[in-house]
Structure 1
Amino acid sequence: MFKIQTINKISPSGLQKFPLDQYEVASEFSSPDAILVRSAKMHDLAFPKTLKAIARAGAGVNNIPIEKCTEDGIVVFNTPGANANAVKELVLTGLLLSSRKIPDGISWAKELVGKGDEVGKLVEKGKSNFAGPEILGKTLGVVGLGAIGMLVANAAEALGMKVLGYDPYISVDSAWALSQKVKKAKSLDHLLSQSDYLTLHVPLLDSTKGFLNKEKFEIMKPGIRILNFARGGLLNKRDLFSALESGKVARFVTDFPDEDLLKNDKIICLPHLGASTPESESNCAIMAVDQLKDFLENGNIKNSVNFPEAEMPRNGGARLIIANKNIPNMVGQITTVLAKENVNIEDLLNKHRGNLAYNIIDVNKPLNESQMEALNSIEGIIMSRLLPQKLKA
């Protein structure tokens, strides 16, 4: 019986995928096998030795101590793409908000309360203050063509926009799903120079922090409108304010407000609503649960932020999973121990990610406690676990 601890409220559509005869789910456990979490901060938590995995029902994992988990052999999963449609729809909303001065118009219209029969005339007189361009035929630059950026690009093209995309690391899946009418930018600078609207869909890394700065703003068209629904910190804030003041940037829309951004009248701030839909929460929970189950039952790893991708079909028998430091002769030492114990290897998968390696080994018979101890005595082994024969679906 696997014990799954939930931190935060997890959508029931995900939790109901745990078979009741194989899993116990609760918000409090002293020794859980896995944890399901959304946004709760876990950096100060003490993890029990029983903990094998953490699944984040969402994409960002800043709330999880990744390095500590890796050292302890705890696999950390996230759910990239599960909230992609929710974010795409909000980006399209932001696109229109940036163009038509809709928030300003709404605020002004509310000031007419109490004007009675004068409202109609005042509206006709004042509406010209909130005019803005249509998006039809304009060029949208999409930086980052992952699950969200690809959907945004396709949707914008369907709305009649010309779309330029830039992503030197685009995945095969995204490339296949991208509309043929989306044009590939020769470079980031080429995209910036051609775009009337710009939307960012890249992670916040050392290499991307503040990457839109004074130098990049100078390349852009005057009056460009910029959307950031990816991560805060992708723009140099001081340079952004200068570009807004000069008119180089007409509007900036973001899902990541702070005090300074909220004070600027040319910035539209949304309260991090990207994934705030019941459909998104359900999708994230289902994806997180599926990944946890596959790991706990079969040792397969998909969408981990600290372990390599590793999937191998079950043959129905016993299976070993082993994580170790990615150093020479580890596989040789493991297979030597198994041979000495008269354990035959029927199939083996070895993957690595940076300084970490992960092995899935199907064996002809279950190992006993002393045989597992012999494996764990190998220097460099971080985690090992014996999985019984495949559980019933």
Structure 2
Amino acid sequence: MNNINHFFPKNKQFWLYHGSLLAVMTVAQLILFILVEQYFLLNTVIQVAWLPLYTISVLIYRYYYKTRSWQRFSMSKIIPLTLVISLVLAIMMSLFTLAIICPFFWTEFLGAEVLAKENRTLIGRLAAFIFYNSVISLLFISIWAFIYIAVTTSRQVKESEIKSLRLENSLKEAKLASLTNQLNPHFLFNSLNNIRFMIYENAAHADEMITAFSEILRYSLTSSKQDKVGIEEELSIIDRYIDIVRLQLGDKLDFQLHFSSSCQQCLIPPMALQILVENAIKHGIENSKTKARLSVNIINKDEVLLIEVCNPVASSVSMPIQGTGTGLKNIKQRLNLLYGELAQLSVTPLENNFTATLTIPMEKSL
């Protein structure tokens, strides 16, 4: 039963195309027989016998092509193999056709008058019939086979491309999830460290920090399942993070946010802006001995979302170098996965200032 399923295609489109081909060939042959006006009945019977034999022959070729995995062969091997198989099938078709018509059309086909008229012997007449019909059958079988190879190969290439894209997307999603999960330990360590110091200094402030931290942690865990979030949602978590930092640093932090109204409902990678702010506080504000300004500017420039995070850096502190640091490296990797060359993260270290600029395509939530 399994072999039968392999032999007869279940695809309706296959039978539609094959049936259309047989119909066109039949009509063309009948028109030719009518024009010749000789042996019309004989030629019609030969054509009727030839059609199912032709169908069986091409199905035999298809069966071996699929079950013997001929699609793995190179063209230099599949072409001669196809021609040889087609020739064998064509000869078999001619012999079967001959066996079918001889009992019914012996006089019209191999009678003494026909042989005398064509000046041929019986063997010569049979050989000519087998040769002529084998050549015609070889031509049609090989044309069918090469069309089948081309269609099958094209379909396999498309399926391979689809599988490759699916695999690429799966790997991309897995890598994005891995990169997003890297943010949680990084953020967790810094925040818990801040709370630890505050517990001994001011228990009330520590309680507020824990409340704010729980909200941030919930957002961090939830957003790790998404590749993009709304920028207003990200800003609300940054406000909670700044609340934690202010409880620790007091008036030392001067946080300034400039947010263009045209950027509302824009999407950004989760925790990306928060990491930039955290990086600015860790490497800039915390090391400053006086009140320091941390400014975040978010604008829409030529349908591109431009985010700048600027903080002062004490001259005695070495500034982060572009491409170093877990936070900046993580953001760059996620930008590459999500946007390719359309997004970038650049840093500008000056003498007493450090600016991180995040540029991504403008994209709004529905």
- Range class of TM-score, shorter chain: under 0.3
* RCO higher in structure (CA 8 A, sep ≥6): 1
Normalising to structure 1: TM-score of the pair?
A: 0.26
Structure number with larger C-alpha Rg: 2
Normalising to structure 2: TM-score of the pair?
A: 0.28
Q: Comparing both structures, which one devotes a greater share of its residues to helix?
A: 2
Q: Comparing both structures, which one devotes a greater share of its residues to strand?
A: 1
